[in-house]
Amino acid sequence: MAATEFLNFIDNHYLRSSEGKSFEKRSPVDGGLVGRVWEASQHDVDSAVKAARAALNGPWGSMALTERTTLLYEVADEINRRFDDFLDAEIADTGKPRSIASHVDIPRGAANFKTFADVVKNVSSEFFEMATPDGRGAINYAVRVPKGVIGVICPWNLPLLLMTWKVAPALACGNSVVVKPSEETPATATLLGEVMLKVGVPAGVYNVVHGFGPDSAGEFLTRHPGVDAITFTGETRTGTAIMKAAADGIRGVSLELGGKNAGIVFSDADFDAAVDGIARAVFLNTGQVCLGTERLYVERSIFERFVVALKERAESLTPGHPNEPDTGLGPLISLEHRDKVLSYYRRAVEEGANVVTGGGVPVMPDTLTAGAWVQPTIWTGLADDATVVRDEIFGPCCHIRPFDSEDEVVRLANDTPYGLAATVWTQDIARAHRLARKLDVGICWINAWFLRDLRTPFGGSKQSGIGREGGVHSLEFYTELRNVCVKL
């Protein structure tokens, strides 16, 4: 793919940077130049927020719900028409295998617009009749009004999917947005601007500012007094900084943060299905999925057999170029992230891990040696307080530990500051429901992983986040409920 320019998208115009600052985006596959990203200045972020505010006071603000949702269906259709452009852009930025991006990232990006257009059309309002002393009574009904200008800060692991998961409901509810994509993945957010232009979304409704976090576009946006609410997906540490920024002006935040998710396999589970599911949960997207499993607990009677089976799965994953059909594993997002993951690989050994497989860098063909490759890795034998059992690594790796009882495994699984997701494998239906109640997580899969119905609540407990998005739950964040009381 030829190197390109990633411009800011403000008020329906593509712009460089008013301060002329830019940085390179390099491919995690081979280190080649993907493009030059124009970093938004404070002035550019001001312009984006101003355009977003003006949109609310213009045609977008007065647009009928059906017209607005029709536009969102057209956005979804246009993403699908330009499916290959989005696919190529996402692959160039992330290096993820074409098989994943074409089945997960891009279809879900389009689906988000359709889903939330449907959700807002079908939500009804509260209504209460009340008595009054004069006997004539009054009625109350609640209307949903947009919150205003929404700041959307995105990570790099599922760029289009996670951005549209927030942009689609925000727009469906009548807000305008200023999006700050990750500095690692500027492409699909930029491309979405072309879609908005094509289908006729009014100027200022969808804006994109590029850059980094601290002292750059991310911080300029989250500190901006013209932003009414902030929705963020990323690391827990960043979420803390964003929550502090949002305190000024008492602005709402929705935070989807990190996880250190447990997988639990009981001896009565369908063994092959559990191995399949857990292999996906550990290695999909090279382990760069917030819902992924990095701590695995397997009932002792099947422990050895399970470790061998998962090892075979790990070793069958072929790292390679995203466009090769037999590629099963892409690179990590960047060399910097690879350094972090490899430091955990070393730490595991220092703390006494038995390395079942992996633990280093795979041998790659000459053309790919500059990429951010790591081996899928499995450890056993670590203490429960070992660093790789505690910290979120965000790589293709897991630690497997045997357990002997249900109570023990619940205690182990909950022994983490995070509370995002769990995946439980058992054929005992009562036990499955018991665990779903006892595990302190936002989403608990039984005999499944990453099975998502977009109408359901999504979010984390403890340090994995605040709030729920998905279906009508997104409306709670992206609208204010206004009560109207009418004396009869």
Active site residues: 256, 290
Angle of helix 65-81 relative to helix 106-122, nearest 10 degrees, comes to 170
Among positions 392, 400, 426, 475, the unique one binding ligand NAD when judged by CB under 6 A: 392
Query: Closest approach of Cβ 183 to ligand NAD, in Å?
Result: 5
Site string for ligand NAD, 279-298 (x = CB under 6 A): -----------x--------
User: What one-character-per-residue DSSP string does 235-300 give?
Assistant: -HHHHHHHHHHHHTTT-EEEEE----EEEEE-TTS-HHHHHHHHHHHHHGGGG--TT-EEEEEEEH
Report the residue number, 269 or 291, with the smaller CB distance to ligand NAD. Answer: 291
- In sequence order, which ranges of 351-428 are alpha helices (DSSP H)? 387-390, 406-414
Please count the residues of the chain: 488
Among positions 25, 68, 166, 180, the unique one binding ligand NAD when judged by CB under 6 A: 180
What are the helix and strand counts (H, E) for the chain? 17, 23
User: Judged by CB under 6 A, does residue 471 bind ligand NAD?
Assistant: no
User: Judged by CB under 6 A, does residue 303 bind ligand NAD?
Assistant: no
Among positions 107, 159, 186, 218, the unique one binding ligand NAD when judged by CB under 6 A: 218
User: Judged by CB under 6 A, does residue 394 bind ligand NAD?
Assistant: yes
Site string for ligand NAD, 81-100 (x = CB under 6 A): --------------------
Interface of this chain with ligand NAD, residues 415 to 454, rule: CB under 6 A: 420
Torsion region of 409: left, alpha or beta (phi above 0 gives left; psi -120 to 50 gives alpha): alpha
Among positions 8, 41, 233, 479, the unique one binding ligand NAD when judged by CB under 6 A: 233
Query: Closest approach of Cβ 122 to ligand NAD, in Å?
Result: 24
Per the CB < 8 A criterion, the answer to whether 206 and 192 are in contact is yes
Report the residue number, 151 or 202, with the smaller CB distance to ligand NAD. Answer: 151
Distance CA 94, CA 83 (A): 16
Among positions 47, 94, 222, 285, the unique one binding ligand NAD when judged by CB under 6 A: 222
Per the CB < 8 A criterion, the answer to whether 445 and 451 are in contact is yes
Sheet with 443-446: strands ordered across: 354-357, 377-380, 397-403, 293-299, 261-265, 421-425, 443-446
- Burial (CB count within 10 angstroms: exposed 0-12, middle 13-18, buried 19+), residue 51: buried
DSSP state of 368: G
Pairing of the two strands 397-403 and 377-380: parallel
User: Judged by CB under 6 A, does residue 238 bind ligand NAD?
Assistant: yes
Report the residue number, 69 or 164, with the smaller CB distance to ligand NAD. Answer: 164
Distance CA 284, CA 19 (A): 39
User: Judged by CB under 6 A, does residue 258 bind ligand NAD?
Assistant: yes
User: Judged by CB under 6 A, does residue 213 bind ligand NAD?
Assistant: yes
Among positions 30, 256, 294, 440, the unique one binding ligand NAD when judged by CB under 6 A: 256
Distance CA 255, CA 393 (A): 19
Q: How many CB atoms lie within 10 A of CB 433?
A: 12
Stretch that binds ligand NAD, among 72-80, 113-121, 217-225, 374-382 (CB under 6 A): 217-225
Query: Closest approach of Cβ 137 to ligand NAD, in Å?
Result: 46
Stretch that binds ligand NAD, among 45-53, 96-104, 229-237, 480-488 (CB under 6 A): 229-237
Site string for ligand NAD, 310-339 (x = CB under 6 A): ------------------------------
Phi and psi torsions of 173, nearest 5°: -85, 0
Closest CA to 339 of 362, 288, 373, 314: 373
User: Judged by CB under 6 A, does residue 105 bind ligand NAD?
Assistant: no
Per CB under 6 A, residues contacting ligand NAD are 153-157, 162, 180, 182-183, 212-214, 218-219, 222, 233-235, 238, 241-242, 256-259, 290, 392, 394, 420, 460, 464-465
